[in-house]
Amino acid sequence: MLKLLLATTNQGKIREIKEVLKDIPLEIITLNDLNINIGVEENGKTFEENAIIKTKIIGKRTGYITLGEDSGLEVDALNGRPGIYSARYCEGTDKDRNDKLLRELKGTAKDKRTARYRAVVAVYDPNKKTINTFEGMSEGFIIEKPIGTNGFCYDPIFYNLDLKKTNAEISLSEKNKVSHRGRALEKCKEYLKSLS
């Protein structure tokens, strides 16, 4: 069976990706499975550039067809921040990042707290030297205090307009149906099926 390497060590992302792609006839492997650690500097200016950078570097180094993803939260009142810096918006934990974002939005009216999660999935085939990208978005707004314990990153403060609750209040399968990453992966599925 053809192997597909995930270019991430983020366990939350790995769980979500494996869940969406579980019916694809590919063996999904991770960097941990290969016992390798490839540091990649994500110095692109967009989610797409960062997804391509990490996917190509890891795919070239390992020789495996590689799926990488870059995603983040864009808050309109903050001119799109944290954007591509979502995972490294400040030192510390997800809670620290949520707290920083909520401090920056303190006093901002609900109708001005609009936001979206954006994801770009990239697949690199080192044999054909091809790269394909797929984008997904999920619209919502930032609530004033965290609700829910599921998910990761900004999920407890992101109210998902499709679900009428935060991403942290829903199951993984519910989230994957309407999340930015789930939508990008759904677009990617047909391409992955053509590889197997």
Q: Quick: pLDDT tens for 60-83.
A: 999 999 999 999 999 999 999 999
Does residue 37 carry a pLDDT above 90? no
Per DSSP, the three-state class of 107 is coil
pLDDT score at 141: 97
Closest to 71 measured CA to CA, from 167, 193, 194: 167
> What kind and span of H or E run contains 167?
none
Does residue 196 carry a pLDDT above 80? no
Confidence of residue 12 (pLDDT cuts 50, 70, 90): confident
What is the average pLDDT across 91-95? 93
Termini Cα distance of the chain: 8
Give catalytic status of residue 70 as yes or no: yes
Q: Identify the active-site residue in 33, 70, 94, 125.
A: 70
Q: Quick: pLDDT tens for 125-184.
A: 999 999 999 999 999 999 999 999 998 899 999 999 999 999 999 888 888 788 899 999
Other beta carbons less than 10 A from residue 71's beta carbon: 25
What is the average pLDDT across 55-63? 95
> What kind and span of H or E run contains 32?
helix 31-34
pLDDT score at 174: 86
Q: Which CATH architecture has domain 3-195?
A: Alpha-Beta Complex (3.90)
pLDDT score at 10: 86
Quote the CA–CA distance of 24 and 4 in Å, as a whole number: 10
Quote the CA–CA distance of 84 and 17 in Å, as a whole number: 19
pLDDT score at 93: 94
* Residues in Cβ contact with 129 at an 8 Å cutoff, skipping those fewer than 6 apart: none
Spell out the domain ranges in the chain: 3-195
pLDDT, the chain, mean: 93
Burial-class residue 108 by CB neighbours within 10 Å (0-12, 13-18, 19+): middle
